[in-house]
A and B are shown apart, each in its own frame.
Chain A
């Protein structure tokens, strides 16, 4: 009996028991689709997190106030303490102190309401320096960014995020318009180009003003303290050197050591790593649960094959009486089980692909489905089919023809 004959016999047997075969496949189908979608969701999340963090700026280091364990053992949230000052930023900008740091942008931020064009719009207002633009790898869509001159004279000028601008001024150009922040009127001098990242808040919904203006009229209580300092290394190769320089300079300046540090220093990479690790852990967890459902599907195949062997015991006896070798019977049942597995797997992949197309619009999460994942799913379902089929098929092959024929 050729493999093709065996295959057709198996297809026949599956078709004859349509309902049961369909239900058996359903187990594998759901398992495969679940594994594919959870892995796809996880990978999608990892990729989007990495992509969004990339948009924060290249070669970026971030110094945040507080955060590490204080002497009293209390842990402040990042940026919650007031341990960083404009002086720290000035020091890090010094070539002598940190030769590998190209640009420094101290930044403070608070939530505030902007009033303009008859609209009230609450967003985060950032106070920083002109270097913010290059350090954060942003660009201007229209108008211009504020200058050092405007920083020095605390000009009431503001640059808006793309979304903020369109929310307040609609399609009309925002540049040249006026908004009130707190009680101070500001002139909109520019609008940022959109980045579409939401890491650390919506990067398109913000307003940015000169640091001096921020300290004078938006958050007078902050004084010279800043919540974070963005540093740009000269190149990605100099990133770890820049990290060391910034770390040493700040530890010395604040008179603390690594364990008592009142600031935290993170590289963009470490943020990516942390975020993707979290996403990966979640993926593994979800995929584990999905894998269990796949296992249950496999047990379903085994169960149905055992029932099938018992139920078709006379058929097996007859086939043997007509000349089927034990090997032919073994192959027949193994093929049947593998077919159930593979068919379930293929349908599961189809469902997974459809799910991957539909889910993103429902969950607002990207779902990545790779060919590798699909192929792996197919192989896994085949293996499940074979493993689940081995025991029932061996039992069928070992039946003595006459015992099988006699049984009722």
Chain B
């Protein structure tokens, strides 16, 4: 429902279930410029985006258009060069490194395109990792990690290392890791990019379920049918975000 030229549209009625006034995330004219030596790349050129709690937003667009860059900014892994980013009303650019770490830990679950699992640790140890940094006691951590793995259908693979799992299973482990802290916001950067159709289906069903449970999801994807699952589809082109044609706003 957010249009690049109309950042205030977040206040308009969205899906009928929602009554929140403050969007969970709100970007205003966010720009990101990378300078590598003499070359400067404008990866984002004034992105406006506002996502309400409980929304399922997809971002698609050609390679190199700036999707991952945007996702990293939303996930507090990177900071914008220009513009402001508010997470539940708070200006992220004003935060110290420690506060950002806490936000990443408690409020955001990130699913990476390349899984990013630690190869030396078993599935459940990978899943409990965010809880370690969240200061959750050991026994509770294991309990919650096992629950999260059960949710993604890997209850029988908890002691396997990533190398002993298929690509789809690894991606599900990383989804479990994103879920384990029970975050407000789940960000997924091409979570099905490396998967076959069967695994893609599994992972996408997972996201649909999570959305059904009321979680806010932002998902990057190349594939149109994946984008179609989202309640709201957006497209990134040359660092500018716009609503997808024919999408329900």
Contacts and interface: CB of A to CB of B under 8 A. Distances in A.
B101 A324 contact: yes
Given A1-B135, A402-B72, A402-B78, A322 B130 contact: yes
A401 interface: yes
Interface in B117-148: 118, 120-121, 129-130, 132-135
Nearest to A328: B133
A184 interface: no
Nearest to A327: B98
A194 B41 CA distance: 92
A1 B134 CA distance: 7
Interface of B: 72, 75, 77-78, 97-98, 101-102, 104-106, 110, 112, 116, 118, 120-121, 129-130, 132-135, 177
A1 B133 contact: yes
A314 B116 contact: yes
A154 B206 CA distance: 115
20 contacts: A1-B132, A12-B121, A16-B120, A319-B133, A320-B101, A321-B77, A321-B104, A321-B110, A322-B104, A322-B110, A322-B133, A323-B105, A323-B133, A325-B102, A326-B98, A400-B78, A401-B77, A401-B78, A402-B78, A405-B112
A325 B95 CA distance: 13
B97 A325 contact: yes
B41 to A, nearest CB: 14
A371 interface: no
A117 B41 CA distance: 105
Contacts of A315: 118
Given A322-B104, A323-B101, A323-B106, A405 B129 contact: no
A379 B40 CA distance: 50
A9 B120 CA distance: 12
A320 B104 CA distance: 8
A9 B125 CA distance: 11
Interface string A311-342: 00011001111111111100000000000000
A327 B97 CA distance: 10
Top 10 A-B residue pairs of the complex, sorted by shortest distance between their CB atoms? A323-B105, A323-B133, A325-B101, A322-B130, A402-B77, A402-B78, A16-B120, A325-B98, A401-B77, A318-B116
Contacts of A402: 72, 77-78
Contacts of B97: 325-326
Contacts of B134: 323
Range of interface residues on chain A?
Answer: 20 to 34
A105 to B, nearest CB: 77
Contacts of A12: 120-121
B136 to A, nearest CB: 10
Interface string A1-41: 11001000100100010000000000000000000000000
A126 B215 CA distance: 103
Contact of A321 (B75, B106, B118): B75
Nearest to B106: A323
A318 B104 CA distance: 11
B118 A322 contact: no
Contacts of A320: 101, 104
Nearest to A17: B120
A309 to B, nearest CB: 15
Among B106, B130, B132: residue with most chain A CB under 10 A: B132
A405 B101 contact: no
A12 B128 CA distance: 15
A380 B102 CA distance: 36
A326 B177 CA distance: 21
B78 A322 contact: no
A318 B98 contact: no
Contacts of B130: 322-323
Nearest to A312: B118
Contacts of A314: 116
Contacts of B112: 405
Contacts of A327: 98
Contacts of A1: 132-133, 135
Contacts of B135: 1-2
A401 B133 CA distance: 15
